[in-house]
Structure 1
Amino acid sequence: MDSIFGNIDDLYLLCTVIEEGSLQKAAVKLQLPVSTMSRRLSALEARLSVRLLQKQGRELVATEAGAKAYRSLMSGMEQIELSFSQLVSQQTEVAGKLNISMPHNFYKEFVSDVIERFLQGYPGVHFDLTLCHEQAKPETNRDLVLTFDVSNMQDMVARPLFNSYHGIYASKQYLEQHGSPETIRELYQHQWLNVDHKYDVTLFKGDNIAEKFHITPRLVVYDIRVIIELVEKGLGIAFLPTVLTNDYPDLVRLLPEYNRQVRQAYIVYRDRKYQPKLLTMFVNEILQAASSIGA
């Protein structure tokens, strides 16, 4: 299709260069001479009268206009790529790449086994994992996010994974040194450890709200296993997932009639009519692996 944009391949060249971060790498991926790609991209910029790429050191990077064009075009390019891929094969081979963002403890508790099975069973599968607690949002049709926070995911598919129930825990050593709280008010006097920066806590008694209070943690670590180990060493008290505390018999649950608000975990991805086979299979495996969590 020829227009002011030129052949649609020119737009695909632009997206590939931006995605690969290098004209050389894009040329290798597309099996085209660098000179040909450079000439076609320059012609595209001339037709549009806008600079899309600029040199940064020895690499080509997107200008602000180029980045906007990439964000607008990439999803459509992926759909075209997928459509042609489905035409030339019946999707009998599970292959491709998934970019996955999740908290550390998600990977350790139930995702790692799924990843390892895919790596062992499907040589054509590739993963790019980011383990962190920062809020992320799927940007392309190859992105997955595992998270407790879907406040900014209204336009995404968010499938429930499990419920996480939290109680207040301390070690026997800590309680010997600092005493055991008998009331919610006494919790203010204790040394808190926390897994995130959410310090305003709602306590429930059964299904009813009992009290809201504010904690001031001595330490914040974005890894629940690290928090559990620090609590076990007597360095403070913390809200811990009850399902994980079974592995630590020296931990004592405080005020067991109270619990923190239940947290719902989700797996999130972009809504599309035809999902790649890899994504569909991986999501189903994660849902199955997560079904045993949340006690």
Structure 2
Amino acid sequence: MNSIYGNIDDLYLFFCVVEEGSLQKASAKLHLPISTMSRRLSLLEQRLGFRLLEKRGRELVATESGDITFSSLQSVMEHLEYAFDDIQTQTQLVSGTIRLALPNNFYRTFVAEVVEQFIETYPLVNIELMLSQDLSSPASDRDLAMTFDLSGMEGMVARPLFSSLHQFYTSQAYLDRYGPIETVKQLADADWILTDRHSDITVYQGEHVVEVIKVKPKLVINDINAVTRAVEKGMGVASLPVRKLAKHLELLPIMEQFHRGTRQSYLVYRARKYQPKALSLFIDALISAARTIEDETPIIDGETSNSSS
């Protein structure tokens, strides 16, 4: 179909560059040379008589006119993508690339098994994993993130995965050096090992908030296994998930009448009317696997804990 816009491929090139944020990423996605894409986009801008894209730092972003064009095209392009996804579904083909960002411990807990099974079931699907505590908001319609923290995720779909009860732990070596920890003040004054820089800890008794303490991190490591090892070596105290610590009998729970509350984890992705088939199936597989973890939620005071930190 030729018109002032050229052909529909040129419009899709523009749409893809805006979604991916750079010619290089769009080139990799579409398997086209950067020089070819640049030339075709320049010709499209000449035909339209206005700029669609501009450099902003290292990123390639839409101009004001480009934003208007993108918004006008978005629904049409998504319907086209959905139509092709539907064709693939009808021919029993599930394919595409899915990107998932998640903490290391999520991967070891249950995601690794889901990924391995999914790739075996759907060999045309590629999955790219980024194991990190420092998560950013999903950038494209094939991006997923797992997180306890929804800040900065406004406008995204957040599906609950599992809740994790956290209590306070240390080692006998630390208590021998530091002394007993029997009050909330002593807990606050101890040497803390944290997974992030958030130094405000909410202390619960049952389902009631006792106090919010400001702790002094001795060490910050964005991996819960590394935090556990540091506690085992007598470096301080930490808030750790009860379920994970069942096998670490050398760690000592402290002030067992108190806990940090139950942290809720989420699977986050962009809201979209028509999800790619591979993504929808992968989301279902992750949520189904997470339910097996949720079923193991510990009991406090005779009731399942539903408090939040």
Q: TM-score, normalised to structure 1's length?
A: 0.85
Q: Secondary structure at the match of 2:284?
A: helix
Q: CA deviation at 1:93?
A: 2.2
Greater shift after overlay, 174-183 or 212-221?
A: 174-183
Q: Deviations over 1:215-253 (max 9, x none)?
A: 010111111111011101111110001111112110111
Number of matched pairs: 289
The answer to whether the 8 A contact 2:54-2:61 is kept is: yes
Map of 1:219 onto structure 2 = 219
Map of 1:50 onto structure 2 = 51
Residues in 2 aligned to 1:23 and 1:255: alpha-carbon distance in whole angstroms: 51
Map of 1:120 onto structure 2 = 120
Q: CA deviation at 1:78?
A: 4.4
The answer to whether the 8 A contact 1:78-1:141 is kept is: no
- Are the structure 2 counterparts of residues 177 and 79 from structure 1 closer, same or farther at C-alpha, using a change threshold of 3 Å? farther
Q: Secondary structure at the match of 2:231?
A: helix
Residues in 2 aligned to 1:245 and 1:81: alpha-carbon distance in whole angstroms: 45
Map of 1:247 onto structure 2 = 247
- Are the structure 2 counterparts of residues 48 and 228 from structure 1 closer, same or farther at C-alpha, using a change threshold of 3 Å? farther
Map of 2:63 onto structure 1 = 65
Q: Which runs of 5+ in 2 are unaligned?
A: 299-309
Residues in 2 aligned to 1:285 and 1:223: alpha-carbon distance in whole angstroms: 25
Q: Deviations over 1:16-43 (max 9, x none)?
A: 456473499469725x9965x5543222
Residues in 1 aligned to 2:203 and 2:263: alpha-carbon distance in whole angstroms: 13
Residues in 1 aligned to 2:260 and 2:29: alpha-carbon distance in whole angstroms: 53
- Are the structure 2 counterparts of residues 119 and 27 from structure 1 closer, same or farther at C-alpha, using a change threshold of 3 Å? closer
Residues in 1 aligned to 2:107 and 2:66: alpha-carbon distance in whole angstroms: 33
Q: Deviations over 1:181-229 (max 9, x none)?
A: 1111111331110011111111110111111110010111111111011
The answer to whether the 8 A contact 2:24-2:34 is kept is: no
Q: Which amino acid aligns with 1:50?
A: R
Residues in 2 aligned to 1:222 and 1:67: alpha-carbon distance in whole angstroms: 42
Residues in 2 aligned to 1:6 and 1:27: alpha-carbon distance in whole angstroms: 21
- Are the structure 2 counterparts of residues 271 and 239 from structure 1 closer, same or farther at C-alpha, using a change threshold of 3 Å? same
Q: Which amino acid aligns with 1:268?
A: V
Q: TM-score, normalised to structure 2's length?
A: 0.81
Residues in 2 aligned to 1:3 and 1:171: alpha-carbon distance in whole angstroms: 73
- Are the structure 2 counterparts of residues 24 and 240 from structure 1 closer, same or farther at C-alpha, using a change threshold of 3 Å? closer
Greater shift after overlay, 282-291 or 207-216?
A: 282-291
Map of 2:303 onto structure 1 = none
- Are the structure 2 counterparts of residues 177 and 276 from structure 1 closer, same or farther at C-alpha, using a change threshold of 3 Å? same
| 2:178 is the alignment partner of 1:174 | no
Q: Which amino acid aligns with 2:195?
A: V
Q: Which runs of 5+ in 1 are unaligned?
A: none
The answer to whether the 8 A contact 1:169-1:237 is kept is: yes
The answer to whether the 8 A contact 2:14-2:41 is kept is: yes
Q: Secondary structure at the match of 1:211?
A: strand
